[in-house]
Amino acid sequence: MEMQNQVMGYDRTATMFSPDGHLLQVEYAEKTVRLGSASIGFTCKDGVVIIADRRTKDRLIVPESANKIYEVDNHVMASAAGILSDARVLIERAQVISQQHKVTYDSEIDIESVIKEIANTKQAFSQYGGARPFGVSILIAGINKVKPKLYVSDVTGNYFAYKAIAIGENDERIKEMLREEYDDKLDIDGAIKLGFKMFKKLLGKNFEVDRFDVAYIKTGEKRIIKVENEDLKKLAK
C-alpha cells in the first residue's frame, strides 16, 4: 500500500518524473488518445487522403456538426483522435498561423511548419505546471508544392512524417494492416477503398459508410474535396 501511494504521488502533475523516468500524466493522455475514434491517412501518387470514423450514432445530432476532418488551409487538412475539444484549440492555432504566413509572405505555408507549431504547443503543456497535457493526436495531410505530405503529432510533442498512418482506436492493428497492404503506387480512389477494407475488418457488422468522413487533396488542384453520398458508397463496396 505504501509503495502504491509513492507511485501515485508522481502522477499529480505533468512536470514530475517518476523514479523510472516516466511522465505519468503524459502516459495517461496517450491512453485517452486510444479511446478516440480512428483516422487513417495516406499519401498517394496523386495526392493525400484522410478517412475518419465519426462514431456518432445519435439521430438528434446534425452529422455536419460532428466532422472529423478539418480545413487548415486550401492545401492542408487535419484529423484528430482523443479529446476533440483539445484538438479544436490546436487546429484553430494552425489555421491562424497558416493565414498569418499567407498575409506576411504571400505564399502557402509549409506542411511541416504547421505540424511543428502544433507539436511545440503540446510539448509546452508537458513541461509547465498548472496545466495538463493535450489529450489528442493530430494527423496533418497536405500538398507541399507538388509533393503529398503526411505528419502525426503525438501527446508528447513529437512528430513524424509517414507514407500512411493511423491514430486512435485500434491504431496498432491498422498500422499492421498498412505495413502489409499499403503501396505508394496507390491512387486516391485505391487508398479510400483500402481504408474502407480495413475498417470493415475492424468493425464487422457495425460498419456503416455514413459514419465516416473522407476527404482528399489532389497534387495539382490543392483544394480539399470531401467525398459524400453516392460517391462514398461506391468506394465502400
Assign residue 74 the CATH number of its domain: 3.60.20.10
Contacts from 97-106 at CB under 8 Å and sequence distance 24+?
A: 98/72, 98/73, 99/73, 102/73
Give me the residues paired with residue 147 across strands: 144
**Could you tell me if residue 17 is inside a domain?**
no
Q: Is residue 31 part of a domain?
A: no
Supply the pLDDT for residue 8: 61
The verdict on residue 73 lying in a domain is yes
Tell me the pairing of strands 136-144 and 76-82. antiparallel
Distances (CA, A) of 115 to 60, 78, 165, 213: 34, 10, 15, 21
DSSP string, 47-109: EEEEEEE-----TTS-GGGG-SEEEEETTEEEEEEE-HHHHHHHHHHHHHHHHHHHHHHSSPP
CA 101 to centroid of chain Cα atoms = 22
Residue 205: how many other CB atoms lie within 10 Å:
6
Answer yes or no: is 14 within a domain.
no
Domain-embedded: residue 11? no
214: containing domain: 38-235
Closest CA to 172 of 28, 38, 11: 38
Cell of 16: 514530475
pLDDT digits (tens, 9 = 90+) for 178-187: 999 999 899 9
Report the pLDDT value the prediction gives residue 45, as an integer from 0 to 100: 95
Residue 6 lies in a domain: no
Query: Which pLDDT tens digit goes with each residue over 200-225?
Result: 999 999 999 989 999 999 998 889 99
DSSP string, 150-180: EEEE-TTS-EEE-SEEEESTTHHHHHHHHHH
Q: What is the mean pLDDT of each run of 10 residues along the chain (237 residues)?
A: 55 82 89 95 97 86 86 97 96 97 96 97 88 94 94 96 97 97 95 97 92 94 91 89
Q: Is residue 15 part of a domain?
A: no
Is there a domain that residue 19 lies in?
no
Domain count, the chain: 1
Burial 124-137 (b: 16+ CB within 10 A, else e): ebbeeeeeebbbbb
Radius of gyration (C-alpha) of the chain in whole angstroms: 19
